[in-house]
Structure 1
Amino acid sequence: MKLLITEKPSVAMEFAKALKINMNRKDGYIESDGWIITWCVGHLVTMSYPEVYDEKLKFWRLDTLPFIPTEWKYEIIPNVQKQFNIVQRLLQREDVEEIYNAGDSGREGEYIQRLVYMMAKPNPKAQIKRVWIDSQTEEEIKRGIREAKNQSEYDSLADSAYLRAKEDYLIGINFSRLLTIIYGRRVASKINEEKISISVGRVMTCVLGMIVSREREIRNFVKTKYYKIIGEFGNTDGSFKAEWRVNEKSKLFESPKLYNDSGFKKENEAKEFIASLAGKKAIISELKKSKQKENAPLLFNLAEIQNECTKRFKIKPDETLDVIQNLYEKKLVTYPRTDARVLSTAVAKEISKNLNGLMRGYKDEEVQNLLKKMVDEKYSTNLVKTKYVNDSKITDHYAIIPTGQGYENYEKLPELHKKVYNTIVKRFIAIFYPPAEYNKVNVVVDVENETFIASGKVCISQGYLEVLRPQNKAKKSTSNAQNVENNSESSKESEDGIENNLEVFKSLKKGQEILVNNYEIKEAETTPPSRYNSGSLILAMENAGKLIEDEELREQIKGAGIGTSATRGEIIKKLEKIKYIDINSKTQIVTPTQKGEAIYDVVNFSMPDMLNAKLTASWEKGLDLVAKKEIKPDEFMTKLVNYINSKFNKLIVKT
């Protein structure tokens, strides 16, 4: 017999359908000729609390810390004991010759299954194989089973998973207890609560640090007014505006009168500068006309689609993951918990299957028109040599794309799920469309060694924007493109926020003297950074490694973020649940609570590196290196234990 174990019952049903197994449903499993299919219900096994090791550890006391077990204890989660017993009995059956680990294809999925095997002690004669799939379509399930590798080939991934759990356990339990013992009463008094436990986590505390730091940056921000100089120049064809910028030849180069080389600190000094330009000639010193192409953005990974859904639909990242997980289980999209934004070469070569499936099955009029245009215009579907295909940027899974299947489930989906699916579909279709094209102009005007700069661009061909741009903007863009074709370019805002009619630039020539119509002062002011919303916070977590100032270290942990694609949404959810942060339900704007700021202050005083992306990202990088067999698990564990002991010694001395 062959035994296959999935992560949840619904996935087991899809495997049974793909294998054409007779649905002989029993209590907690399916059995037919040659196959048994059973399932976990998420985690069946968990790490034991400290008091299981020693009753004394039930009480939070300084003399019992740090708690670092030499042998780890695990236990069955009580409310799933029945299903564990069923899985255990099946694993131990004498007639089971092959066991297929069909858990979720990622680190956490591996961990869930490995814990079960560790506790259940399978029939030692049975060979255990690992099924690794990118979607739940019938052909992908069959391929995953057909190409299943020996589970031992995933041992390093399992090592990484065990270490992640141990790290979170040790840091959470030890430092939560320590800081609560030392600072708990002080914090409780500060926020007018009777008592409080200070919750610390490897990832959670760092994210809290990001949120509080940003909030205080905004709170302490002092707006600064400054004054820009705008010149209006022209010829017989019309006029245009250009902004003054200091340059090395300017009499004000490195002058203390200026704010950021683009404006004056005082209005009267700006007026004096304008007066000094009176009667001076204006010459075109530079004139560059070019065509610019802009390709469609890369495909969605989980962080990108979470951010997109927060912006569009005002939903939290964990809600987005739930939606995409449902789409995945309905066979509509590929694996959701991915960090990659590109496809593998192998998938790219077969991508016509996905497109054909969309054409046949997805009854969305707009999408069908976009697909029809692809065919009519003969857009290339050969992605292999494009930026959208890169095997080196894929670890476990490629980007999230529609499978072109599962449409029998589509109509029953909630409206939000349909909208998210449509968002994924359009991002996918966009990569087959040509680039958007622009006419771009850059003009530099010289007035007695003072430089005025004007720039602008107008869309002459929408390309992929026809797929991704919102409908009202698309119409506007079409109008612009038509105007260009009719040799009458419309006004277009430049990169400096100044509107210019690009038609006037056509007759300009380098070295030409032009008219000075007037100079004006434009008051501006500095702006604080924006607060995170729940989606932009996910992206900030993903890219946290880039914030590290040490260039060498930044390069060492390149690609490492805070948390993983599978856990970031849950971290934000937990911070909100324990009332360290608030998330506005309408805007999804994230702000710290009084309690969250009090916890931040404690951690910042006692162990500030816990708030720093450098530490958290480097731990995540270490786990990745274990998974890649570049460092040994014992080496990682030794560093972790040394870190905990070192921190305890310093904190005890500090208090």
Structure 2
Amino acid sequence: MSKSLFIAEKPSVAQEFARALKLNSARRDGYLEGENTIVTWCVGHLVTMSYPEAYDPALKRWSLETLPFLPEEFKYEVIPSVKKQFDIVSGLLNRKDVETIYVCTDSGREGEYIYRLVAMMSGVKDKVQKRVWIDSQTEEEIIRGIREAKELSAYDNLSASAYLRAKEDYLMGINFSRLLSLKYGNAVSNYLGSRYQPISVGRVMTCVLGMVVRREREIRDFVKTPFYRVLGKFELQKHFFEGEWRAVEGSRYFQSPLLYKENGFKEKETAREFKELLSQNPPLQAVVEKIERKKENKNPPLLFNLAELQNECSRLFKLSPDETLKIVQELYEKKLVTYPRTDARVLSTAVAKEIQKNIGGLRSYIHAGSYVDEILTAQRYKNLEKTRYVNDKQITDHYAIIPTGQGLSALRSVSQQAEKVYEVIVRRFLSIFYPSAVYQKVSLVSVIEKERLFSSFKVLISEGYLKVTGYSFGKKKEDETSEEETKDGVFLEMLQNVKKGSILPVKEFLIKEGETSPPKRYTSGSMILAMENAGQLIEDEELRAQIKGSGIGTSATRAEILKKLVTIKYLTLNKKTQVITPTLLGEMIFDVVNASIRSLLSPELTASWEKGLTYVAEGSITSEEYMQKLERFIRSWTQGVMGLRNQLMLKQYFDAAAVYYQKSKNSKTGAKTAGKSTKK
């Protein structure tokens, strides 16, 4: 009797497939078997790329003479620690009674790569191979994925992209790490007083290191500039509010060199003289020159992709991206949420048409019941596909992270932190079924002594989706606003009587000192967003949604890259604040790369490589074209670095960085955190 073999990425996922398939059998060594079905699993990667010495034993010794290392054919080997499971899986793949193989590894580039390597090393032939592509691990979704499974060949371009990503990281890592270690390793180790210092570089991680080091140096070089603002304090029916003076056209200081900006002076004395001028004719009164009233709608934010969720959890809970990924992966494996490693922040049309199932399943969730009733009673889920929260064109592999509406009993078995992350996902999801929050905005321009004072107010008059966003753990998401003040409804009512030409009493004029601020250090969350947006830290949520491109790294790899940079002591991560800073060693590696292979530090170039992999996955370019470009890049930079004679020059850069660290340059690791002189 012919059998179907289902191969998952992990034992826990295999169990879910076995349960969905109603497979009743005892667990065997490395697999489950029923009458006509077998379920087995990998344990993550079972196969890896071989080190250079597998090609030639002489390559084990690092030498400039053997670079660049660019094999015509790549070698792979089974990872020794998981050889037993590989042998089990390989045996099952080649069993004569196995006719159809269902590939159930994670639905993404890395999951595809894991299976393809196993199949390649196992020599799978003459089998029907189908790809199961699912967005959650609910029984319904698993059965749908099996029913709609496509021929594995439909994912050949994705597989090609996965192989190329691995080859690219392998070739850049081996060639450039060996090249720079041989060329500059002694300069680094001699400076640190260590015995030997290898230099580790990579396509993505070196770029991220560069972003952190540049930001730290911007902060160091920043010089605070004080400035002095003049404000008028108005009184309106015993309510006080302020108006900010600005040197607009008509002002005696319009375009004056005495200004820092149009709303402040460079010198306090100038501000004091101006304040006295405005105060010279009591009783002080200003005339309303202009008043504008308008309503402003604030839409619910887009849904979470992994980067946005990692940023939010960094902000709310001070979780590292790696910790957030582990939590949301657990929620996924317990069927609570959809696939986490996604870049999309919208839903597909197909999912939108069935979304009431996700909503209805949350009725018994303690933090959602009342909202669910409102949504279902009013049928607010209807026509969701016509909103900005649904866009098939913005989805590559998976749609946004949302609750499945299933598995709520599993919440009892997760950590308190995971419960909170789940609540964050649920509230973001439910908010899209509520109307916009509505604000009343009032802008006021008043004139005194031919000078203009500007006031603005913003009052929430309809909470809309904001009623859903108040977290139970007492840390509500800030409703950020750029307005000078936010007033209550009573004050807003008083403003209704103010018209053009109204007289406003001025109680006094004030001088407020301010100073320019240095750039902010990256947190683990903001770094993930900056990586997603090709090196741009874009604070505005709406603008981020418009940015096109694959960014630096992928949703599946960004957290691991940050973690590695901390592990090898190029960066430090403050666990309490999640702020990222470089180490002395990290700054020295930055200077080495900057003096040799500068393009590795370029976010734009690094993002372009990732975009190229996307083109391969889409079928726009071939693997051969991509490899030719990659090999030219490696040859060119290898030859260029070999011709450099700049090792001694680096000491001046090392010295410049070392003064900011508590540990002396004789430190064996150079990996202490930044000293007091870098703290702003």
Flag whether TM exceeds 0.5 (same fold): yes
SS at match of 1:308: helix
What corresponds to 2:39 in structure 1? 37
How far apart, in 2, do the equivalents of 1:614 and 1:520 lie? 46
Amino acid at match of 2:592: V
What corresponds to 1:495 in structure 2? 483
Superposed, 1:137-152 pairs within 5 Å as 137-152=138-153
What corresponds to 1:246 in structure 2? 247
Amino acid at match of 1:205: T
Superposed, 1:67-146 pairs within 5 Å as 67-122=69-124, 124-146=125-147
Query: Over residues 66-118 of structure 1, what are the superposed CA-to-partner deviations in whole Å (9 max), with x where a residue is unaligned?
Result: 11111100000001111111111111122222111111000000010111111
2:19 counterpart (9, 17, 42): 17
Q: Structure 1-normalised TM-score?
A: 0.92
SS at match of 1:606: coil
What corresponds to 2:520 in structure 1? 530
What corresponds to 1:642 in structure 2? 632
Out of 334-343 and 124-133, give the one that drifted further: 124-133
Superposed, 1:188-587 pairs within 5 Å as 188-234=189-235, 239-277=240-278, 278-279=280-281, 282-360=286-364, 362=365, 364=366, 366-375=367-376, 379-447=380-448, 449-470=450-471, 495-496=483-484, 501-544=491-534, 546=536, 558-587=548-577
What corresponds to 2:662 in structure 1? none
SS at match of 2:33: strand
Work out whether residues 16 and 23 of structure 1, in 8 Å CA contact, stay in contact via their aligned partners in 2: no
SS at match of 2:186: helix
Amino acid at match of 2:252: K
Give how far 1:504 is off.
Answer: 4.2
SS at match of 1:105: coil
1:654 counterpart (638, 644, 658): 644
Work out whether residues 29 and 37 of structure 1, in 8 Å CA contact, stay in contact via their aligned partners in 2: yes
**Aligned CA distance change for structure 1 residues 520 and 205 (closer, same or farther; 3 Å):** same
Work out whether residues 438 and 460 of structure 2, in 8 Å CA contact, stay in contact via their aligned partners in 1: yes
What corresponds to 2:590 in structure 1? 600
How far apart, in 2, do the equivalents of 1:109 and 1:210 lie? 29
User: What is the aligned-residue identity percentage?
Assistant: 57
What corresponds to 2:603 in structure 1? 613
Give how far 1:521 is off.
Answer: 1.0
Q: Structure 2-normalised TM-score?
A: 0.89
How far apart, in 2, do the equivalents of 1:359 and 1:642 lie? 58
**Aligned CA distance change for structure 1 residues 213 and 476 (closer, same or farther; 3 Å):** closer
Query: Over residues 611-637 of structure 1, what are the superposed CA-to-partner deviations in whole Å (9 max), with x where a residue is unaligned?
Result: 111111110111111111111111111
Amino acid at match of 2:88: I
Unaligned runs of 5+ in 1: 478-491, 549-553
How far apart, in 2, do the equivalents of 1:311 and 1:542 lie? 17
- The two structures, once aligned, show a CA RMSD in angstroms of 2.5
How far apart, in 2, do the equivalents of 1:49 and 1:606 lie? 25
**Aligned CA distance change for structure 1 residues 474 and 291 (closer, same or farther; 3 Å):** farther
Work out whether residues 557 and 621 of structure 1, in 8 Å CA contact, stay in contact via their aligned partners in 2: no
SS at match of 1:193: coil
Work out whether residues 571 and 580 of structure 2, in 8 Å CA contact, stay in contact via their aligned partners in 1: yes
Give how far 1:176 is off.
Answer: 0.7
How far apart, in 2, do the equivalents of 1:645 and 1:494 lie? 51
Work out whether residues 130 and 151 of structure 1, in 8 Å CA contact, stay in contact via their aligned partners in 2: yes
Amino acid at match of 2:293: K
Work out whether residues 557 and 618 of structure 1, in 8 Å CA contact, stay in contact via their aligned partners in 2: no
**Aligned CA distance change for structure 1 residues 421 and 521 (closer, same or farther; 3 Å):** same
Amino acid at match of 1:240: F
SS at match of 1:609: helix
Amino acid at match of 1:111: Y
**Aligned CA distance change for structure 1 residues 523 and 99 (closer, same or farther; 3 Å):** same
SS at match of 1:359: coil
Query: Over residues 27-75 of structure 1, what are the superposed CA-to-partner deviations in whole Å (9 max), with x where a residue is unaligned?
Result: 1111112211111110000000011111111111111111111110000
Give how far 1:497 is off.
Answer: 5.2
Give how far 1:474 is off.
Answer: 7.3
**Aligned CA distance change for structure 1 residues 291 and 499 (closer, same or farther; 3 Å):** closer
SS at match of 2:184: helix
SS at match of 2:459: strand
- Is residue 7 from structure 1 mapped to residue 13 from structure 2 by the alignment? no
SS at match of 1:507: coil
How far apart, in 2, do the equivalents of 1:462 and 1:556 lie? 26
How far apart, in 1, do the equivalents of 2:136 and 2:298 lie? 31
How far apart, in 2, do the equivalents of 1:556 and 1:517 lie? 46
How far apart, in 2, do the equivalents of 1:539 and 1:613 lie? 13
Out of 135-144 and 585-594, give the one that drifted further: 585-594
**Aligned CA distance change for structure 1 residues 82 and 470 (closer, same or farther; 3 Å):** closer
Give how far 1:252 is off.
Answer: 2.6
Give how far 1:276 is off.
Answer: 4.0
How far apart, in 2, do the equivalents of 1:547 and 1:296 lie? 21
Work out whether residues 241 and 498 of structure 1, in 8 Å CA contact, stay in contact via their aligned partners in 2: no
Work out whether residues 212 and 592 of structure 1, in 8 Å CA contact, stay in contact via their aligned partners in 2: yes
SS at match of 1:384: helix
Amino acid at match of 1:392: K
How far apart, in 1, do the equivalents of 2:520 and 2:467 lie? 29
**Aligned CA distance change for structure 1 residues 463 and 557 (closer, same or farther; 3 Å):** closer
Give how far 1:369 is off.
Answer: 2.9
SS at match of 1:433: coil
**Aligned CA distance change for structure 1 residues 613 and 391 (closer, same or farther; 3 Å):** same
SS at match of 1:336: coil
How far apart, in 2, do the equivalents of 1:542 and 1:395 lie? 15
SS at match of 2:84: helix
What corresponds to 1:485 in structure 2? none
Give how far 1:169 is off.
Answer: 0.6
How far apart, in 2, do the equivalents of 1:556 and 1:142 lie? 35
Give how far 1:333 is off.
Answer: 0.5
Query: Over residues 593-614 of structure 1, what are the superposed CA-to-partner deviations in whole Å (9 max), with x where a residue is unaligned?
Result: 1111111111112122211111
How far apart, in 2, do the equivalents of 1:236 and 1:422 lie? 44
SS at match of 1:358: coil
How far apart, in 2, do the equivalents of 1:13 and 1:620 lie? 34
Give how far 1:260 is off.
Answer: 2.7
How far apart, in 2, do the equivalents of 1:518 and 1:447 lie? 12
**Aligned CA distance change for structure 1 residues 98 and 470 (closer, same or farther; 3 Å):** closer
**Aligned CA distance change for structure 1 residues 30 and 537 (closer, same or farther; 3 Å):** same
Amino acid at match of 1:26: R
Give how far 1:499 is off.
Answer: 6.8
What corresponds to 2:52 in structure 1? 50
Query: Over residues 384-443 of structure 1, what are the superposed CA-to-partner deviations in whole Å (9 max), with x where a residue is unaligned?
Result: 211211111111100001101112422112222211111111111111122212111111
What corresponds to 1:486 in structure 2? none
Work out whether residues 358 and 403 of structure 2, in 8 Å CA contact, stay in contact via their aligned partners in 1: yes
How far apart, in 1, do the equivalents of 2:186 and 2:644 lie? 17
SS at match of 1:615: helix
What corresponds to 1:484 in structure 2? none
Work out whether residues 187 and 196 of structure 1, in 8 Å CA contact, stay in contact via their aligned partners in 2: yes
SS at match of 1:459: strand
Structure 1's consecutive aligned runs of 4 or more residues displaced over 6 angstroms after TM superposition are: 471-477, 554-557
